[in-house]
A and B are shown apart, each in its own frame.
Chain A
Amino acid sequence: DTEVTQTPKHLVMGMTNKKSLKCEQHMGHRAMYWYKQKAKKPPELMFVYSYEKLSINESVPSRFSPECPNSSLLNLHLHALQPEDSALYLCASSQEAGTRELGDEQFFGPGTRLTVL
C-alpha cells in the first residue's frame, strides 16, 4: 500500500468552528508532514513529525494544532480559523526521519480543500 489518504476531501467551516483534518499512511514511514497550498502558489511546509514527535513548526499560528497519535496517523486540529486560511492542506510521509541526508521522496495525499467562511 503506497497510498496516503486524507479525510475529508472538502471542508467548509465557520470562524468559530472546531474541526480536524486526518491523514493516514501504512507504508511504515517515520516522517509525516503538513503542507498548505494556496491557489497558484507552491506548497508551503507547516509541520514535520519525526518518529511521532514534532520536529519542525514553521511558525504556524496556534489556531492550527497538529497531532500524531501513532506512526500511521497525523491530524491537524483547526480552531478559530480566518478566511485567509482557506487553502488546500496536503499531508505527506517519507520513509526516514524527515532529514535531508537521504533525500528520500515524500508521498503525498490528495489534500483537503478547506474553505473558511
Chain B
Amino acid sequence: ILNVEQSPQSLHVQEGDSTNFTCSFPSSNFYALHWYRWETAKSPEALFVMTLNGDEKKKGRISATLNTKEGYSYLYIKGSQPEDSATYLCASYGSGNTGKLIFGQGTTLQVKP
C-alpha cells in the first residue's frame, strides 16, 4: 500500500511571509509526483507534475522541488498572499501501470492579511 504523507496538516501565516510544506512518498517504483491547489468550493487545480529527481518547477511565487531517492517533495510559496489560502494536495501513483493517484491528506494554508 502506498502512503503519501503531507505535513503540516495546517498552517497559518501572515501576508508577506514565505512558507513551505512537505510531501513524502515511497521512493521505490516512483513515476511522478503531482501537486494540486484546492480552494474552497472550487475544482482542484494542477500546479506541477514532477518526474525527475532534482526537478525544480516554478509558477509565479510558487515553486516545488523533488527528491525521488529519499521520497520527498517540498512546495514553497514566496511572499504569501491571502489568495494563496487553499488546501495543497500532493499525489503519487499506486502500484501497477495505471493512472491511480494516491493523494496525501493535504496542507491547509491560511494567509492572514
**A interface, CB within 8 angstroms of B:** 4, 31, 33, 40-45, 48, 50, 55-56, 58, 90, 94, 97-101, 103-111
Contact = CB atoms under 8 A, between A and B. Distances in A.
A110 B91 CA distance: 18
Interface of B: 4, 31-32, 34, 36, 41-46, 49, 51, 89, 91, 93, 97-106
A68 to B, nearest CB: 15
A56 B97 CA distance: 11
Contact of B101 (A4, A106, A107): A106
Contact of A110 (B43, B89, B97): B43
B97 A99 contact: yes
A97 B100 CA distance: 11
Given A48-B99, A94-B99, A100-B32, 12 more contacts: A41-B105, A42-B89, A42-B102, A42-B104, A42-B106, A43-B103, A99-B98, A103-B32, A106-B99, A107-B46, A108-B44, A110-B41
